[in-house]
Structure formats: structure tokens, C-alpha cells
Structure 1
Amino acid sequence: MRLAGIDLGNDSIKIVYDGTNEPITVPNIVTPGYDRHIFQEEDAPHKALDVTVYSPALTLNNRRWFVGQLATELEDSSELEETDNKALSDQSLIVALTALAYSGITAPSYSPPSYSQADEVELVIGTGLPVRTYAKYRESFEQRLVGEHEIVFHSTPQLHGRKVKLRIRKAVVSIEGAAAIFNLATHDNLQVRDEEIYGGVIGVCEIGALTTDLPVIRRMAIDNHFSYGEQMGLANYLDPIRREVEDQFGYAFPSRAKLAQRIKQREFVIQRIGEGQATIKPIVDTYFSRAAVRIVDLIKKRWKKCPDIQCFYVIGGGAAALKPYLIEAAGPVKLRFVPDSELQNVLGYVKVARSRMNQGAFAEMTN
């Protein structure tokens, strides 16, 4: 039985296994599956996740789906919207179970059972929910994850026809942002790494695709009074960027994920019909500057309400994308950024789950 952290981001699902810091990332995007015409097989399984998923928690059961990168290329793909709740979302669960099954059976340490026709993966997982949904949905979220699920791979390279029985024995749910601070404060063995973070009052701004969470961590415990979440994230700005690019240049990004990938790689030049090219950077700059101003305003308001906050960490995938814009918008207000910002939560989920399993000193973070 392995221990894994899984970050069910609205833009992508990230998985890290205990003992490794190498993430597995699958875009949180699906489209109904079908028998594909394959002219050349993809060179890696994660590029063509084609599955049928069964789970007691799913409304749409035993359906075939294209998941992740394969779905990002298709115009009828589904991405999560502001009205979606990841604790209750079928789509997030489909992507999460697919990613766990795929990563479980492709891990170097995996050995298939000799007594069964199906692959078997048994896990304890750590995961998280936004501040605003944590209290109300934590229990139901745990119940949806825990249990036995079944994933069958179809046209996925190297995994054709393999059936995976995925057993999740326990799910430890933390608050997004808080788990990241736990990761920054501790070593892999859970001993204290940073006394300032461990013993201080720390503000966090965790910028996701659809939510921005601002928990306040007081000596490694969540401050119930000052912690706050906003139903706003990077997607609020990526969608209008897509529309404006199409209006100006006639170039349509098939999904939010494809645009986000371009921006992350700093590839702003697009190919127009004919042989012309254009840059979308001015459009990105306009919308990301607006996003930064709004987020810095949220941070300042939180700091004013809770003046005990010693420093503010800005983390998450949105922090990595918006960093230069946030620094400019913040002016003299110092904000703290960390490397691998988008991985801090998932690394923290592994540690929180391990501390809970060990009945460690920090288990109160998930209470």
C-alpha cells in the first residue's frame, strides 16, 4: 500500500508519491471517448489516456472518456467552471482516478499480481479542498474517494486493455494553501525546517484556476476567523484572453489548458491562416495585470484585517504565472514566492497524510 498526495486542481490533477518529488500532472479536462482512428500511436501513455471508469461515487458510470492531454485537443472537451464544486464533480473524480490508476501501474516499483487478471493498486491519499468548501464538503469528499474503483484502458499506448482495481483505503483532506505552508515548514521526516513559518502567523494566497484561497496559519493551525476564500482564479482571465485572441486574430485555442500551456512556456507567437504570425503577449499582459491588481488588493485587505500576519506567501500555479505582474502591482508591499510554487500543496498533502497515519504532531491541520 503506497502513500500519495493528489492535488485536484481545477486546471490539472497533480500526483506525488511518498519518497519522490517527481510529480505526475494530468490536465483536468475530459471528453466522451470513442474508437479512435490512430495513424501513429502516441509515444507515451499519458498523452492518450483513453479509459472507461467505474466508481460507486460517479453519476455517469461505466462511460468511456478521453482524459487529460488527449482531451485538450478536442473542441467538445469539458473544463471545470466557476459553478463546479470539485468535491462533488464527476469530472474531477474521473481524472483523479484515471491519473492514480495510470501512475500506479507505470511506477517502477509496481509489480502486477500473479493471481489476478486485473492490476491492483492500493493507496492512502492526502488531498485538499478550498477554504470556502472545506468545512461543508470534507466528509462527503472523503467518502467519494475512499473505496474500490475500476479503470479500463483502451487505446492508451502500452496499456491497451489493462484493467486496474484501484483501492483507496483512506483519504486525508486538508485546506488548500495550508498544506503548502506545512510543506515549507517541515523536512521530509516531518521535523521542523523553518522556525519562522512553524511558530509564526503566516498569510497565504493560493491562486488556482477557479479559486483564490487566503488561509491564515497561526503556529501551524488554521485561523478560523481570518481564513478566507474567493471564487475567482486565473480562469477568469484566461477565458477572455481566448475570446480576444480569436476576435483579433481568428486563432481559436481549443481549451483553456492549451492557452495556459503556451503562456507557461512563454510561447506568445501564434500562426495565422496563411503564413502570417502574431503575438498575443500584449493581450496576456493586459488581463494578467488586472488579475494581479485584484489579487494584491485581496492580500492587502486580509493583512489589514489581521495585522498579526508576519509575511504573505503567494503560491499555486497562478502565482507562477502572475509573479512579475504581482510584484509590480504590490509596489512596496513585499510578497514571498517559492520555487515549484504549483507543487507546494501536493507535497504538503503527502506530509499531512503521513503525519495523520503516524499520529504525528501536526495532525491538527486536517481536523
Structure 2
Amino acid sequence: MIKLAGIDIGNDSIKLVVDGSKEPFMIPNIIAPGYERHILQEEDSAWKALDVVIYSPSLSQRNQRYFVGQLALEHEDNLELEDTDNKALSDQSLIVALTALAYQGLVSQTAASGYGQTDEVEYTIGTGLPVRAFAKYHQPFEQRLLGEHEVTFLSTPQLRNRKVKVIVRKAAISIEGAAAMFHLATHDSLQVKDEEIYSGIIGVCEIGALTTDFPVIKRMAIDNHFSHGEQIGIATYLDAIIRDVEDAYGYVFPSRAKLAARVKNRQYTIQLPGEGQVDIRAIVDQHFRRAAVRMVEMIKKRWRKCPDIQCFYVIGGGAAALKPYILDAAGPMKLRFTNDSEFLNVQGYLKVAKSRLNQAVPV
């Protein structure tokens, strides 16, 4: 059976939701070179130890071993995407995405046993690209996703030595932020839920790790003239916090994701050598205030260029972290935030895939 899924290939994390499931599955978009692990105690979850070999005709290096996501999070040789990376062409993003699709196929028991010990899972997926990358890269991005790929789990608990053939039959590519509005505007059945969003002129500020997108949605269609994207995201400010904390206290965050998790959980106390602790909230506040001022100025610029915009939604993982700072910087200007905004795109991509299959509403 072909599964329908939405997958948000974010620069900081990859989120996957399969039709019929309630909760999206999320993996940090981090990899490290894989090797034979010296395991003292097996992890209590497969998600914590994604140790894979991946073969894909779309990868420049095939049959390579990688530690993915949580397992790579604190690895000294881990790799996070930088602002020079293009997710449409990125091997790293494809590695993590294929790992997520294979994992979900096994844990949800949708994978069917194929030849020998190989399981198979087939997908039709919806996904997206930033505004500035979409026009040029959506076709090569689609071609890299389509076809047959193979993921073998090695030391991963509960999935040890399981091999999965991941087959992507169709891929519907849309624009980040626009898919989120489609999700807010419609029910799961794709019937209209919010007439204002569905029929109005809506501005979106979608704050990601490395990009911030400003699509303008007019009656669920992208406005080609006013939609815009900026090559800056919250990662710039997370990197600055990491540098300042290291300079001030000698404490090194092994990855942006590690810092982001602390910020999300409001855990600002770090442990120093010995028994000392220090609060880094002041450093976080300083950089996030700068980020918020910049975001608000970019929103004002977009709104001035397209004064017909009726309201502006601020969404994405960066929006959740920056919300109090953006509200303070915005002053009397009204901006709209939503709950679980980092999952709006992935839910929207699932609906876009469903609508394309039904030849329904294009987004």
C-alpha cells in the first residue's frame, strides 16, 4: 500500500507526518560519519540511535555509514547545514529524510517484506522549498526524491540489521509558508475551515534555521511579484550565542540543535567544570532581541510593498523561539502567531499531496 506523507526537510530538523497519524515524527538534521560503535548500554529507543547505511542513486556517495539525528547530536564530527547549503541539492538533507521515511515505515508496520530480508515501503509525499529556491530548484529536488532508495539500520536498537527499500512514487513540491496557510485554512477533508485565510490576501513570515520566507498568499495562490525570501534565519543568532557563551565561560555547545532544545525548554543554566553553574539568559536575550528587530523590520518592508495584505502570520520554529521578542519589537503592529507553528508546514505538505492526488486546490 502506498502511504501518503508530508515531509518538512528543514535546515535544523526534518519532520514527517503520515496520513492517518496524529503526531509528526521529528529528527534533527544532523549527521556524523558512522563506524562500529562501542556500546556500553543500548539506547531505550530506536530514534536515539539511528545508525544507517544508505544507498541512493541521488547521493554523491553511496553505501556510506552515518549516525543520524539524535545519535549525531553531540558527536565531535557532526555536520549541521550552513547558509551556503541548498536543501534541494543537499546530500545531508536527503540522508536524514530517507532515514525518517525508512524508520517510519518500519515502526508503523507499513513496510512489506520483499526479497530476502528487505522490507519495502512506498510513499507519495508532499514537501517544500524556500521562496527563492523554488522556481529554480523544485524540479531537480523532485527528481532527487523520486525512485528507489535503500536504508539499512545497523546498531539501532529494535531495528538492528533491518534493510528497507524506500520507494517514492510521487512528490508534490510547494513553497514553505504557503503550505502552512493551506493547513490553517482547511480541514483534513480539504474543505474550507477559515474563510479569511482561504479567500484573503495573507502575508507570511516563516522563520527557519537558515532562511526566512515571506510568501504572499492571495486566495490560496502564491503572488509571484510580492513573495520574497531572505537568506537569514535563527541559526545566525544561535551561532552567535554559542560563540559568546564559549568566550565568556569556556562552555561549548556541540551543536545548534543542543542549544535550541535548551531554549525551547527554557533551560538557561549551564554546568561549568567543578560544581559551578551560570545562567546564560542574558546572552540569549541580547541576540534574540536583535533577531526580533530584524524580523519586524523585514515584515514592515514587505507590508509596505504590498499594502493590500490583510494580516501577517509569523510561523516556523524560529517564530516559537522569538515570539515574545517579536511582540515587543512590533509595538502596536498586530502580528498573528499560532500554536505548534513549527509543524504547520509538514501538516500543510500532507494536505498539498492529498489535494494534488485529488486534483483539488493547487498551492
Tell me the TM-score normalized by structure 1.
0.98
| 1:185 match | 185
| 2:346 match | 346
Change (3 A) 1:66 1:114: closer
| 1:319 match | 319
- Distance in 1, Cα, partners of 2:66 & 2:249: 32
Contact 1:12 1:25 in 2 (8 A): yes
What is the CA deviation profile of residues 154-201 of structure 1, one whole-angstrom value per residue up to 9, with x for unaligned ones?
Answer: 100111111000000011000000000000000000000001001100
1:171 aligns with 2:189: no
Q: Give SS of 2:95's match.
A: helix
- Distance in 2, Cα, partners of 1:110 & 1:93: 21
Contact 1:21 1:347 in 2 (8 A): no
1:152 aligns with 2:140: no
| 2:220 match | 220
1:263 aligns with 2:263: yes
Q: Structure 1: which 5+ residue stretches go unaligned?
A: none
Contact 2:114 2:120 in 1 (8 A): no
Q: Give 1:123's aligned amino acid.
A: Y
| 1:120 match | 120
What is the CA deviation profile of residues 176-231 of structure 1, one whole-angstrom value per residue up to 9, with x for unaligned ones?
Answer: 00000000000000000001001100000000000000000001100000000000
- Distance in 2, Cα, partners of 1:46 & 1:243: 29
- Distance in 1, Cα, partners of 2:67 & 2:146: 23
- Distance in 2, Cα, partners of 1:294 & 1:115: 54
Change (3 A) 1:111 1:151: closer
Contact 2:7 2:17 in 1 (8 A): yes
- Distance in 2, Cα, partners of 1:227 & 1:320: 22
1:209 aligns with 2:209: yes
What is the CA deviation profile of residues 228-281 of structure 1, one whole-angstrom value per residue up to 9, with x for unaligned ones?
Answer: 000000000000100110111111001111111111111000000010100111
| 1:97 match | 98
| Structure 1 moving runs of 4+ over 4 Å | none
Give the alignment of 1:129-144 within 5 angstroms.
Answer: 129-144=129-144
The alpha-carbon deviation at position 116 of structure 1 amounts to 4.0
Q: Give SS of 1:188's match.
A: coil
Contact 2:185 2:193 in 1 (8 A): yes
The alpha-carbon deviation at position 111 of structure 1 amounts to 5.4
- Distance in 2, Cα, partners of 1:65 & 1:90: 12
Q: Give SS of 2:26's match.
A: strand
The percentage of aligned residue pairs carrying the same residue is 69
| 1:84 match | 85
Contact 2:3 2:123 in 1 (8 A): yes
The alpha-carbon deviation at position 351 of structure 1 amounts to 0.3
Change (3 A) 1:114 1:307: closer
- Distance in 2, Cα, partners of 1:73 & 1:19: 33
- Distance in 1, Cα, partners of 2:125 & 2:149: 14
Q: Cα RMSD over matched residues?
A: 0.8
Q: Give 1:14's aligned amino acid.
A: K
Q: Give SS of 1:40's match.
A: coil
Contact 2:111 2:121 in 1 (8 A): no
Q: Give 1:229's aligned amino acid.
A: G
Aligned length, in residue pairs: 362
- Distance in 1, Cα, partners of 2:250 & 2:114: 55
- Distance in 1, Cα, partners of 2:319 & 2:20: 26
Tell me the TM-score normalized by structure 2.
0.99
The alpha-carbon deviation at position 21 of structure 1 amounts to 2.9
- Distance in 1, Cα, partners of 2:4 & 2:206: 24
Q: Give 2:46's aligned amino acid.
A: P
Q: Give SS of 1:152's match.
A: strand
Q: Structure 2: which 5+ residue stretches go unaligned?
A: none
| 1:53 match | 54
What is the CA deviation profile of residues 312-334 of structure 1, one whole-angstrom value per residue up to 9, with x for unaligned ones?
Answer: 00000000000000000000001
Contact 2:58 2:144 in 1 (8 A): yes
| 1:275 match | 275
| 1:19 match | 20
